[in-house]
């Protein structure tokens, strides 16, 4: 966006520098997960459907971005869309890379077993 407005110049994309970097995830408290599991499953199903729609209908999804994301169409047309695996799971390799980076830059002291912070049980239909 800054480049389009003449405020900067792109040297490299983040994804080119650190491929498969995990930018986001769905986070909820233990209380919400235990008290409202069906709502959590419904939310996750909705997110997976949205990702699938974006994958299958990229042009249409980009056309919706100005309305729902508040960005100009020029920005929406150039925005990077993350690769989507289809099942909602991150590969263990990507999670390992992420943890190694977090250790290198002091955000983690040591690797944490994935099952301690990822719960894929809500991916079931």
Which tokens is 28 given? 């909820």
Instruction: Report the pLDDT value the prediction gives residue 125, as an integer from 0 to 100.
Output: 62
The answer as to whether 12 is a domain residue is no
The count of domains in the chain is: 2
Distance CA 38, CA 100 (A): 34
Instruction: Report the pLDDT value the prediction gives residue 57, as an integer from 0 to 100.
Output: 92
Instruction: Report the pLDDT value the prediction gives residue 99, as an integer from 0 to 100.
Output: 93
What is the domain extent for residue 63?
28-83
Q: Is the pLDDT of residue 103 over 90?
A: yes
Q: Comparing C-alpha atoms, which of 85, 66, 82 is closest to residue 74? A: 66
pLDDT over 90, % of the chain = 33
The answer as to whether 8 is a domain residue is no
Is residue 77 located within the same domain as residue 109?
no
Is residue 66 located within the same domain as residue 91?
no
Is residue 73 located within the same domain as residue 107?
no
The answer as to whether 23 is a domain residue is no
Is residue 33 located within the same domain as residue 62?
yes
pTM: 0.70
Instruction: Report the pLDDT value the prediction gives residue 2, as an integer from 0 to 100.
Output: 66
Instruction: Report the pLDDT value the prediction gives residue 4, as an integer from 0 to 100.
Output: 67
The answer as to whether 48 is a domain residue is yes
What mean pLDDT is predicted for residues 22-38?
89
Find all residues with CB under 8 Å of 1, minimum gap 6, and list them. Answer: 71, 75
């Amino acid at each position: 966006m800054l480049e389009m407005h003449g405020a900067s110049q792109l040297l490299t994309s983040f994804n080119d520098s650190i491929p498969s970097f995990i930018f986001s995830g769905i986070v909820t408290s233990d209380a919400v997960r235990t008290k409202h599991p069906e709502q959590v499953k419904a939310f996750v199903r909705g997110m997976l459907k949205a990702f699938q729609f974006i994958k299958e209908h990229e042009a249409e999804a980009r056309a919706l971005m100005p309305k729902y994301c508040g960005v100009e169409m020029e920005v929406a047309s150039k925005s990077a869309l993350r690769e989507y695996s289809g099942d909602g799971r991150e590969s263990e390799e990507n999670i390992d890379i992420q943890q190694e980076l977090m250790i290198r830059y002091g955000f983690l002291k040591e690797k944490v077993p994935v099952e301690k912070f990822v719960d894929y049980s809500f991916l079931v239909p």
